[in-house]
Amino acid sequence: MARPYNFSAGPAAMPVEVLEIAAREMLDWHGTGMGVMEMSHRGKAFGEIAAQAEADLRELLAVPSHFKILFMQGGGLAENAIVPMNLSRGGVVDFVVTGGWSQNSLKEAGRYAQTHLAASNADSRHTTLPAPASWQLSPDAQYVHICSNETIHGVEFQALPDLKALGSDAPLVVDFSSHVASRPVDWSRVGLAFGGAQKNLGPAGLTLVVVREDLLGHALPICPSAFNYKTVADNASMYNTPPTYAIYIAGLTFQWLKRQGGVAAMEARNIAKARLLYDFLDQSPFYENRVAPDCRSRMNVPFFLKDESRNEAFLAGAQARGLLQLKGHKSVGGMRASLYNAIPIEGVQALVDYLRDFEKEMA
Amino acid sequence: MARPYNFSAGPAAMPVEVLEIAAREMLDWHGTGMGVMEMSHRGKAFGEIAAQAEADLRELLAVPSHFKILFMQGGGLAENAIVPMNLSRGGVVDFVVTGGWSQNSLKEAGRYAQTHLAASNADSRHTTLPAPASWQLSPDAQYVHICSNETIHGVEFQALPDLKALGSDAPLVVDFSSHVASRPVDWSRVGLAFGGAQKNLGPAGLTLVVVREDLLGHALPICPSAFNYKTVADNASMYNTPPTYAIYIAGLTFQWLKRQGGVAAMEARNIAKARLLYDFLDQSPFYENRVAPDCRSRMNVPFFLKDESRNEAFLAGAQARGLLQLKGHKSVGGMRASLYNAIPIEGVQALVDYLRDFEKEMA
């Protein structure tokens, strides 16, 4: 049987080529006589792996030289605390709440800063995006936080807000966990971006932080050294032992992305993949997606069977067809298909074929 | 050529069988059609992997049922902050400083608690251990911190201190990163033990915490949710996405340890391995180990060539013989051989053979 398509929201499908290389190199990386897991993070071999991963990521995402790339631990959830510990200076921080993740970020930041809700889409149950012109930004905010793609609710910013144009000098903090490397980033609008690796980059346990250099050096005294961005940056992400194997796998993924044509090429594919699925859902009387068309996520597509009594049959049939991990998040229900970079359009076509067949079968 | 022996202090040598299984299962774990890296942490398959890993570890280390086992992120260095955020209640904490790691722990805890130096071996340059009877314990300490094996300085407690017998009711906090699973743990003397996985358990990026249940629930308000032990425990280590692949590899290592006869069998082998190396070093006029015999680490053996001008030739010759990563820590210099569980006695014998040959060659 062909390899199943895995629509998990994360940890998620990896490129097959990456897994094949990792399996082949497991006991001996490039003739060193060591697997990557066995290498000292201070040694020459791992130093090469980490430097290459960082350089490839900088190229792929076109990260300007005045931004530092940090490889950390703790995931997006830990960053909800680590960002305000590093950037808030205990002052006011603005949050734009657009779904489960930004809601969590707001709550956690309250331990370290005075949080201000600048805008919210709670009225629409997180199915729209509040227009930036309507945001109530604080004049003295230390930063403005958004989640540029809400994994649970399937809402995505199609462009990052231009805070300067909105009259704010605050840096923009972006949680881009679940769509990093799926589309280009306009760094001129960003102060800091962070993301867990386990969607589009690599294994869970690696966290990516990209931070403008001028924002370093203002951590609160209670910020743990291991999570002080300046300390991490000054030590090239090796102040504490980094998650070495996860960095290696992410590096293999970066090389795979380059072979695919880079982020612009991935974006074109991701647009085509998302369109294929949304177009099918929209024309069907059997399924529905509840997110407003202009802010639908290309990466995470929550959808519902209008007759939810058929959910279990749907999932069992999908599993039998080799379409895995389609169950929706518990806070939203229904189904969710995550179409990260590692999902080829053939996988989306297989899903659409199944959606059509299941609909007919139930008619 | 035979596989080299890798004496890295961590990340460190892994059992070959573990790497072979991991390579074989990389694209498909047990017929699920997914590699472990690709599994949702909330799914059935990964749930089984995590539960088995925890059960095996509990059996191997004989962890009593009133202790929780937590799989976290951040490494020992992050725990230096996370422990006092969870256990200090902002009060007094006692530290016994016996090397680089406990020194770091003391420094970091000062952000959250009133630290008290109860004992130190700094006078001997970390080559002895202060007798517990001489420790100046605080009457009101929230806990007493020790590092039971100092990776850098090669000093190991051969028994955990009995704080009750010393007149203290404070829980003992043990950093056992670099000798966990190399010998049994007397849990009756422990309140909390933590360790990075990357020495004896698995890949870097996974942190093990074993904590007595009655110590949960007292975190400082500034403790990030992701690092609040109670939150982590209440969610079976899945409050934030855990480092799933690292947990899987650690689980394979636990199964390997069970096949080897468990921790008691490993201890017998580790005693034999350490004796082989220390006995050779002690009889040689060419090398020296500077640690007092009664507190020498079985896991980490720092040693010096008496003529340090030969260090580079020594390391180059070792590399040529397939004896890897023997360079000492920068703060101590010289050499260091780490003899973790994955190093067989044949590896130690190969090292001793090389030590002898190099000494003869230089004579």
CB contact under 8 A, A203 and B37: yes
Pairwise CA distance, residues B338 & B156, whole Å:
13
In chain A, the residue whose alpha carbon lies closest to the alpha carbon of B14 is A38
Query: Are A199 and A107 part of one and the same domain?
Result: yes
- Amino acid identity at A147: C
Pair type for strands B141-147 and B92-97: parallel
**DSSP run (H or E) holding B164:** none
Q: Is residue A311 situated within a structural domain?
A: yes
Scanning the structure block, which residue is given the tokens 């996405």? B241
**Exposed e or buried b per residue across A16-47, where buried means at least 16 C-beta atoms within 10 angstroms of its C-beta:** eebbebbbebbbbbeebbbbbbbbbbbbebbe
Q: Which residues lie across from B72 on neighbouring strands? A: B207
A35/B contact by beta carbon, under 8 A: yes
- Within 10 angstroms of residue A319's Cβ, the number of other Cβ atoms is 14
Whether residue B11 is preceded by a cis peptide bond, meaning omega within 30 degrees of 0, is yes
Q: Is residue B87 situated within a structural domain?
A: yes
- Looking at the partner chain, which of B37, B112, B206 has a beta carbon nearest the beta carbon of A14? B37
Q: Which of A43, A176, A14, A184 lies closest to B29, judged by CA?
A: A14
Which residues in chain A have their CB less than 8 angstroms from residue B10's CB? 40, 241
In this structure, chain B runs to a length of: 363
Query: Are B249 and B268 part of one and the same domain?
Result: no
Quote the Cα angle for B113-B198-B233, to 5°. 55
Pairwise CA distance, residues B199 & B56, whole Å:
18
Q: What is the mean pLDDT of residues B117-143?
A: 97
Last residue of a domain, one of A259, A294, A314: A259
Last residue of a domain, one of B259, B290, B309: B259
Domain of B330, CATH number, reads 3.90.1150.10
Q: Which of A53, A49, A57, A54 lies closest to A32, judged by CA?
A: A49
- Looking at the partner chain, which of A4, A41, A75 has a beta carbon nearest the beta carbon of B33? A4
- Amino acid identity at A78: A
Query: Are A230 and A267 part of one and the same domain?
Result: no
Pairwise CA distance, residues B176 & B209, whole Å:
10
Pairwise CA distance, residues B356 & B363, whole Å:
11
Q: How far is B228 from chain A (nearest CA, A)?
A: 11
Quote the Cα angle for A31-A249-B322, to 5°. 25
- Reading the block at residue A213, the tokens are 């250099």
Residue B363 has a pLDDT of 85
Last residue of a domain, one of A227, A259, A291: A259
* Dihedral of alpha carbons A77, A79, A85, A87, sign: negative
B73 is in an annotated binding site: no
Q: Is residue A302 situated within a structural domain?
A: yes
In chain A, the residue whose alpha carbon lies closest to the alpha carbon of B240 is A77
Phi-psi region of B2 (alpha: psi -120 to 50; beta: other; left: phi over 0): beta
**pLDDT tens digit sequence for B77-88:** 999 999 999 999
CA distance between the termini of chain A: 29
Q: Is residue B268 situated within a structural domain?
A: yes
- φ, ψ dihedrals at A322, nearest 5°: 75, 35
Query: Are A213 and A115 part of one and the same domain?
Result: yes
Query: Are A251 and A266 part of one and the same domain?
Result: no
CA distance between the termini of chain B: 29
pLDDT band at B2 (very low <50, low <70, confident <90, very high): confident
Distances, alpha carbon B213 to alpha carbons A2, B68, B90, B190, in Å: 47, 6, 20, 12
Scanning the structure block, which residue is given the tokens 């779904």? A99
CB contact under 8 A, A73 and B77: no
Domain of B31, CATH number, reads 3.40.640.10
- B199 catalytic per annotation: yes
- φ, ψ dihedrals at A212, nearest 5°: -70, 135
Pair type for strands B5-6 and A92-97: unpaired
Q: Is B165's pLDDT higher than 90?
A: yes
Quote the Cα angle for A15-B197-B164, to 5°. 155
Q: Is B286's pLDDT higher than 60?
A: yes
Domain that holds residue A345: 262-362
- B162 catalytic per annotation: no
Scanning the structure block, which residue is given the tokens 């006869």? B261
Pairwise CA distance, residues A298 & A178, whole Å:
10
Q: Would you write out chain A's pLDDT as a tens digit for each of its 363 residues?
A: 579 999 999 999 999 999 999 999 999 999 999 999 999 999 999 999 999 999 999 999 999 999 999 999 999 999 999 999 999 999 999 999 999 999 999 999 999 999 999 999 999 999 999 999 999 999 999 999 999 999 999 999 999 999 999 999 999 999 999 999 999 999 999 999 999 999 999 999 999 999 999 999 999 999 999 999 999 999 999 999 999 999 999 999 999 999 999 999 999 999 999 999 999 999 999 999 999 999 999 999 999 999 999 999 999 999 999 999 999 999 999 999 999 999 999 999 999 999 999 999 998
Which residues in chain B have their CB less than 8 angstroms from residue A246's CB? 203, 205, 243, 245-246
- Amino acid identity at A283: Q
- Reading the block at residue B180, the tokens are 């966990």
Query: Are A182 and A304 part of one and the same domain?
Result: no
Q: Is residue A223 situated within a structural domain?
A: yes
Q: Is residue A120 situated within a structural domain?
A: yes
- Reading the block at residue A353, the tokens are 């074929």
Pairwise CA distance, residues A33 & A30, whole Å:
8
Residue A1 has a pLDDT of 57
For B321, counting Cβ atoms within 10 Å of its Cβ (0-12 exposed, 13-18 middle, 19+ buried), the class is: middle
Query: Are A246 and A356 part of one and the same domain?
Result: no
- Amino acid identity at A119: A
Query: Are A354 and A239 part of one and the same domain?
Result: no
Pairwise CA distance, residues B362 & B269, whole Å:
31
* Alpha helices, H only, B146-243: 229-234
**DSSP run (H or E) holding A191:** none
- Looking at the partner chain, which of B77, B206, B221 has a beta carbon nearest the beta carbon of A240? B77
Residue B360 has a pLDDT of 97
Query: Are A254 and A266 part of one and the same domain?
Result: no
Q: How far is B339 from chain A (nearest CA, A)?
A: 13
Which residues in chain B have their CB less than 8 angstroms from residue A73's CB? 73-75, 78, 205, 243
Residue A151 has a pLDDT of 97
Q: How far is A98 from chain B (nearest CA, A)?
A: 20
Scanning the structure block, which residue is given the tokens 């190969």? B350
A20/B contact by beta carbon, under 8 A: yes
Query: Are B160 and B85 part of one and the same domain?
Result: yes
Pairwise CA distance, residues A264 & A309, whole Å:
41
Residue B1 has a pLDDT of 57
Question: What total of structural domains would you count in chain B?
Answer: 2
Q: Is residue B342 situated within a structural domain?
A: yes
The catalytic residues of A are 101, 175, 199
CB contact under 8 A, B38 and A322: no
Which residues in chain A have their CB less than 8 angstroms from residue B108's CB? 224-225
Which residues in chain A have their CB less than 8 angstroms from residue B111's CB? 221-222, 224
Q: How far is B81 from chain A (nearest CA, A)?
A: 6
Query: Are A338 and A326 part of one and the same domain?
Result: yes
Query: Are A253 and A267 part of one and the same domain?
Result: no
Q: Is residue B12 situated within a structural domain?
A: no
